């Protein structure tokens, strides 16, 4: 099981990904005041969200649009499952094209792509998908993120 701080950081990063404001106002609103000086003081969810946006910039509407329809048609309590199936579907299509990319990195990229696509094209689903994305990433990737040394390390690769 991944440390709770990774799960909390994941939620902070997703919140920053879904913000509509400039980087500076997002930085102000996304940052949590530290209790003391620790190694975690260097954690910046805005910088990580920016790097993850770059990772997901090249999405293909023809591939993602059918997957979004599945998410749109899912009842609110089924969005996590629909989101998960959509990410898995994207990853399977990439395995043939990009076998050299780690499966966890593919899951991360597909999650970010789908989340940002929803934000842009289906704003009424943003809140539901944001929560689903947090649950999904914490379930599927939190242990891997912890093994890599945290979100700062994942974003720097």
Please write the tens of the pLDDT for every residue from 35-75.
Answer: 444 444 578 888 898 888 877 765 566 667 777 777 777 77
* H/E segment holding residue 136: helix 126-140
SS3 of residue 21 by DSSP:
coil
Q: Give the pLDDT confidence score for residue 9 in this predicted structure.
A: 93
Whole-model pTM: value is 0.70
Q: 66-96 b/e with 16+ CB inside 10 Å = b?
A: ebbebbeebeeeebbebbbebbebbbeebee
Q: Give the pLDDT confidence score for residue 146 in this predicted structure.
A: 93
- What is the rounded CA–CA span in Å between residue 149 and residue 138? 15
């Amino acid at each position: 099981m991944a440390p709770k701080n990774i799960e909390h950081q994941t939620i902070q990063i997703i919140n920053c990904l879904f913000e509509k404001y400039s980087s500076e106002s997002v930085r102000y609103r996304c940052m949590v005041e530290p209790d003391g000086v620790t190694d975690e003081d260097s954690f910046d969810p805005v910088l990580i969200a920016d790097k993850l946006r770059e990772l997901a910039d090249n999405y293909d509407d023809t591939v993602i649009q059918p997957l979004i329809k599945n998410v749109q048609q899912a009842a609110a309590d089924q969005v996590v499952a629909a989101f998960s199936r959509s990410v898995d579907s994207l990853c399977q299509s990439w395995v043939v094209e990009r076998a050299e990319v780690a499966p966890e990195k593919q899951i991360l990229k597909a999650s970010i792509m789908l989340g940002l696509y929803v934000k842009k094209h289906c704003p009424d689903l943003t809140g539901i998908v944001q929560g689903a994305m947090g649950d999904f990433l914490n379930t599927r990737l939190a242990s891997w993120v912890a093994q890599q040394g945290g979100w700062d390390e994942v974003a720097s690769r």
